[in-house]
Chain A
């Protein structure tokens, strides 16, 4: 393979130039002429039946154009999750756009469209609602009891899903163990905290065609789900691709309430309708599910797993939404697949409560699992006196092993051991007994955690879409337009995809432009920007489209250079005979020839070209990826715990990632650094809190919901990229995006234990919990 011209070299993002000057391309800026503004009336009760709802006074308020009540909305149950078919058997269809039965505080009940947001807001106050309150349950374990209130009819014990998987002989495995460890690990509800709110504009024209612009992570998912809810053919819904959105992180992976409500109000008024959520509405619309994980684990005295049992109880809130899928990803990638063991059983419960609904969030169930598994491994190592690196290496897979989730594939690139070894070397890891300890009140400790198995997309997962498409079109100035459906949430995927196209086409990355006008009518289907999939899956599709364009380019160039296309190559924007770079012609000249009139007038008179070389040079692809390779990750942190205040400060963070081929070093570093912030917030600070009596959100803004600022972050986050070569990936790449969010919490928990000798099994590790663990404060 010749040396890469573009891959592996940091490329600047072209959207950054626009964003530092203002940033016109966000959905929040979209305005349509004559647009109305809608606001949503939300339930004040966690569980109630609406016995009367009267909007007459609201309708009379000047400026109000329409009111939408439950009776006006289709009573068609759906699952909002974008990446599964609407009626997927694996999911639970239990939501309505507007219902007269409310199941959590904040559930939409009615909406008003008015000429200004202020009028719409004022009109909400004029809607009269009488409720019949119903009994409530906020704790999922209480909700599973026989005497608990029923949140959905026909769902006994409020169990929306109960997957269970058994491998080998668990009892035999425990019989073979020298030690058995048990522990319960609890995680909290946190929000993705994307900065741009969920916002949409929906315009239904006089012929019933629906145009949607929205801040979301999946063009085609929004089209499918909205068409289903509105009960119209998909082809009547056009979803416009935003040039970029202000973050997603999984929090915009489902049909919000806002798009169907705006569509229904637009149908009623004949005008475009815009809805922008407040930060409070964002906080109660999506969250990482709290999961309580019980583990029972058997190991030999040599540190080999003999039996692993896990039981996970997931609080999915008022509706199943992502909870029916998160539980499975949690079970497999948070527990079963992490370390091989012959005898394993895991069971999960997705449980309805009267809490807010959950959603997607980087890691999608794995952070909750990693916190449990990686914490317990530390406990095991402490007990049996083994170094945690050695323990993990004794229980790991190797390159070439069968893929544990997709047995038809092998782990064709897999460098878990190298992640641990190189991470440890850079960090300066020393065995516990050899660490120096300070005598003062600030105690330092080190910890590590791993995510040995993860995904590059969803190939092999039941009921989850996984294919990508791309269009590459060459221009007469030697540049290329690249059209894809995947939305850049901020991660920099557009730049990565431009690099892949540029490398394949033999032109510079600056010469590849991602088209700014794309919609569900013009670009091939793609699954969402989620599941660490875009570089691998969309990257393969982009490479495929670029290959097709290049093939055509070389055909035309062949006629111009009177050479066999097989003998030609493209480098630095020029087509030439292989090995003779001086002789060639520019890519632009080839395109110009292909697009020229058939007969060209020259100094010597009319000169015909050939029919065979005519036409736009374009390549199209639509394909599923060939595999689902696993990246691997290890993280090392050093903390300082103030035993007088309980505060935990992160002094150092070192990540080692096997990501396949590294495409954009600066972009990859940025992903990891941001991922650590999300993981560290989860570990130490963040928690959505609710009134235990009435279920109201007590942390509806950034003053009460604490996420790390620049001050709390460690002064430098170190990233080691271990470049394996994934044979099925574009130029050897696989994935990066999520493990960096999954591993910080257990790494930090392990470091806190190392520092103070007390194990905290409940996130977040707040100063109160640290002081309570030290016996300096009563636990609450």
Chain B
């Protein structure tokens, strides 16, 4: 039995008819047509689907969309500022942190939360901060570099 859910995604308000079993990820990808959140495992194991839910990084595959009623969601599509990549997105490009890129949007959303409080981050803090996001291409080195660069240059 479908129910109506109201969620704000990247600043736009949506009214979505969803099954109780539908995850936030399914709604973002399959109902709203967003491609940033990726389905990598559908089981809370890889982090490719990470989005911000009211500012907190969550695995969107593990959130029932009905529980997100009234919440504000940010996906990687919502980060650009005035049509330009934001500093974190640019840092990923410039540091070579993107290879296949399938983990990238989730990684960027996790890093967004990590950087949100404005504190300095050392290498260890960044690594522990992104430990819930798997990457198979980069060995994480350049991802850590990208996050570090943003933390330092703000």
The answer to whether B142 and A673 touch across the interface, beta carbons within 8 angstroms, is yes
Least CB separation from A23: chain B residue = B101
A271-323 interface (Cβ within 8 A of B): 276, 278-279
State in angstroms the CA–CA spacing of A670 and B90 once bound together: 17
CB of B74 within 8 Å of the partner chain: no
**CB proximity of A6 to chain B, nearest CB, Å:** 17
B127-151 interface (Cβ within 8 A of A): 127-128, 130-144
Contacts known (A23-B104, A195-B103); A710 close to B126, Cβ less than 8 A:
yes
Contacts known (A20-B85, A20-B89); A701 close to B41, Cβ less than 8 A:
yes
**CB proximity of B135 to chain A, nearest CB, Å:** 7
Query: B-facing mask of A244-263, CB < 8 A → 1, else 0?
Result: 11110100000000000000
State in angstroms the CA–CA spacing of A9 and B30 once bound together: 41
CB of B55 within 8 Å of the partner chain: no
**CB proximity of B140 to chain A, nearest CB, Å:** 4
Cβ contacts under 8 Å, B135 to chain A: 195, 674, 677, 710
9-residue interface stretch from A24-32, A76-84, A343-351: A24-32
CB of A16 within 8 Å of the partner chain: yes
Of B35, B42, B93, which is within 8 A of A23 by CB? B35
A15-73 interface (Cβ within 8 A of B): 15-17, 19-24, 26, 28-29
Cβ contacts under 8 Å, B45 to chain A: 279, 701-703
Cβ contacts under 8 Å, B58 to chain A: none
State in angstroms the CA–CA spacing of A12 and B90 once bound together: 11
The answer to whether B105 and A22 touch across the interface, beta carbons within 8 angstroms, is yes
9-residue interface stretch from A424-432, A713-721, A749-757: A713-721
9-residue interface stretch from A487-495, A595-603, A723-731: A487-495
Of A23, A492, A717, which is within 8 A of B105 by CB? A23
B53-109 interface (Cβ within 8 A of A): 75-77, 79-80, 85, 89-90, 92-94, 96, 98-105, 108
Contacts known (A16-B93, A279-B41, A701-B43); A196 close to B136, Cβ less than 8 A:
no
State in angstroms the CA–CA spacing of A13 and B93 once bound together: 7
State in angstroms the CA–CA spacing of A578 and B45 once bound together: 59
The answer to whether A16 and B92 touch across the interface, beta carbons within 8 angstroms, is yes
The answer to whether A676 and B139 touch across the interface, beta carbons within 8 angstroms, is yes
The answer to whether B40 and A711 touch across the interface, beta carbons within 8 angstroms, is no
State in angstroms the CA–CA spacing of A26 and B36 once bound together: 11
Of B89, B102, B126, B138, which is within 8 A of A670 by CB? B138
CB of A666 within 8 Å of the partner chain: yes
The answer to whether A196 and B137 touch across the interface, beta carbons within 8 angstroms, is no
Cβ contacts under 8 Å, B144 to chain A: 710
Cβ contacts under 8 Å, A715 to chain B: 123
CB of A192 within 8 Å of the partner chain: yes
State in angstroms the CA–CA spacing of A118 and B94 once bound together: 41
CB of B5 within 8 Å of the partner chain: no
| A-B pairs under 8 A by CB, number | 185
CB of A197 within 8 Å of the partner chain: yes
**CB proximity of B114 to chain A, nearest CB, Å:** 12
Of A23, A118, A710, which is within 8 A of B131 by CB? A710
The answer to whether A28 and B39 touch across the interface, beta carbons within 8 angstroms, is yes
Least CB separation from B91: chain A residue = A20
Cβ contacts under 8 Å, B39 to chain A: 28, 197, 276
The answer to whether B136 and A666 touch across the interface, beta carbons within 8 angstroms, is no
**CB proximity of B111 to chain A, nearest CB, Å:** 11
The answer to whether A709 and B36 touch across the interface, beta carbons within 8 angstroms, is no
Cβ contacts under 8 Å, A13 to chain B: 93, 96, 98
The answer to whether B36 and A23 touch across the interface, beta carbons within 8 angstroms, is yes
CB of B121 within 8 Å of the partner chain: no
State in angstroms the CA–CA spacing of A490 and B98 once bound together: 8
Q: Give the total of A residues in contact with B, Cβ under 8 Å.
A: 56
CB of B115 within 8 Å of the partner chain: no
State in angstroms the CA–CA spacing of A717 and B17 once bound together: 48
Interface size, B (range): 35 or more
The answer to whether A20 and B40 touch across the interface, beta carbons within 8 angstroms, is no
CB of B25 within 8 Å of the partner chain: no
The answer to whether A12 and B94 touch across the interface, beta carbons within 8 angstroms, is yes
The answer to whether A22 and B36 touch across the interface, beta carbons within 8 angstroms, is yes
**CB proximity of A711 to chain B, nearest CB, Å:** 5
The answer to whether A196 and B77 touch across the interface, beta carbons within 8 angstroms, is no
Cβ contacts under 8 Å, A702 to chain B: 41, 43, 45-46, 134
Chain A CB within 10 Å — which of B76, B102, B123 has the most? B102
Contacts known (A278-B42, A673-B138, A673-B141); A17 close to B85, Cβ less than 8 A:
yes
The answer to whether A17 and B93 touch across the interface, beta carbons within 8 angstroms, is yes
Contacts known (A24-B35, A195-B40, A701-B45); A490 close to B139, Cβ less than 8 A:
no
State in angstroms the CA–CA spacing of A676 and B141 once bound together: 11
The answer to whether A709 and B141 touch across the interface, beta carbons within 8 angstroms, is no
State in angstroms the CA–CA spacing of A453 and B58 once bound together: 45
Least CB separation from A20: chain B residue = B89
Cβ contacts under 8 Å, A196 to chain B: 38, 40, 100, 102
The answer to whether B38 and A246 touch across the interface, beta carbons within 8 angstroms, is yes
State in angstroms the CA–CA spacing of A279 and B41 once bound together: 5
State in angstroms the CA–CA spacing of A678 and B134 once bound together: 12
**CB proximity of B124 to chain A, nearest CB, Å:** 8
The answer to whether A22 and B141 touch across the interface, beta carbons within 8 angstroms, is no
CB of B48 within 8 Å of the partner chain: yes
**CB proximity of B93 to chain A, nearest CB, Å:** 4
The answer to whether A16 and B98 touch across the interface, beta carbons within 8 angstroms, is yes
CB of B16 within 8 Å of the partner chain: no
The answer to whether A713 and B93 touch across the interface, beta carbons within 8 angstroms, is no
B1-51 interface (Cβ within 8 A of A): 19, 21, 34-36, 38-46, 48
Cβ contacts under 8 Å, B143 to chain A: 710
The answer to whether A23 and B102 touch across the interface, beta carbons within 8 angstroms, is yes
Cβ contacts under 8 Å, A677 to chain B: 135-136, 138-140
Least CB separation from A31: chain B residue = B33
The answer to whether A674 and B139 touch across the interface, beta carbons within 8 angstroms, is yes
Cβ contacts under 8 Å, A279 to chain B: 40-43, 45-46
The answer to whether A21 and B85 touch across the interface, beta carbons within 8 angstroms, is yes
Contacts known (A23-B102, A674-B99); A717 close to B123, Cβ less than 8 A:
no
The answer to whether A675 and B139 touch across the interface, beta carbons within 8 angstroms, is yes
Contacts known (A17-B93, A20-B85, A670-B99); A195 close to B140, Cβ less than 8 A:
no
The answer to whether A20 and B92 touch across the interface, beta carbons within 8 angstroms, is yes
CB of A194 within 8 Å of the partner chain: yes
Cβ contacts under 8 Å, A195 to chain B: 38, 40, 46, 48, 100, 102-103, 134-136
Cβ contacts under 8 Å, A672 to chain B: 139
Contacts known (A196-B40, A279-B41, A710-B131); A20 close to B136, Cβ less than 8 A:
no
**CB proximity of B41 to chain A, nearest CB, Å:** 4
State in angstroms the CA–CA spacing of A672 and B136 once bound together: 12
State in angstroms the CA–CA spacing of A60 and B139 once bound together: 49
**CB proximity of B152 to chain A, nearest CB, Å:** 17
Cβ contacts under 8 Å, B103 to chain A: 195
Contacts known (A20-B108, A702-B46); A674 close to B35, Cβ less than 8 A:
no
The answer to whether A29 and B141 touch across the interface, beta carbons within 8 angstroms, is no
CB of A689 within 8 Å of the partner chain: no
State in angstroms the CA–CA spacing of A279 and B19 once bound together: 23
CB of A722 within 8 Å of the partner chain: no
CB of A193 within 8 Å of the partner chain: yes
Of B44, B48, B100, which is within 8 A of A489 by CB? B100
CB of A559 within 8 Å of the partner chain: no
State in angstroms the CA–CA spacing of A710 and B148 once bound together: 14
Cβ contacts under 8 Å, B80 to chain A: 21
Show 13 residue pairs from A and B whose CB-CB distance is below 8 angstroms, ordered by the A residue: A13-B96, A20-B76, A20-B92, A23-B105, A26-B38, A194-B136, A279-B45, A667-B96, A673-B139, A701-B43, A702-B46, A710-B140, A713-B139
Q: Which 4 A-B pairs have the closest CB atoms?
A: A490-B100, A702-B45, A246-B102, A19-B101
A residues adjacent to B (C-beta < 8 A) = 10, 12-13, 15-17, 19-24, 26, 28-29, 118, 192-197, 244-247, 249, 276, 278-279, 489-492, 666-667, 669-670, 672-678, 701-703, 707, 709-711, 713, 715-717
Apart from the given pairs A22-B36, A673-B142, 12 other A-B contacts in the complex at a CB distance below 8 Å: A19-B101, A20-B92, A22-B34, A22-B35, A24-B35, A29-B35, A118-B21, A195-B38, A196-B102, A245-B100, A247-B137, A674-B138
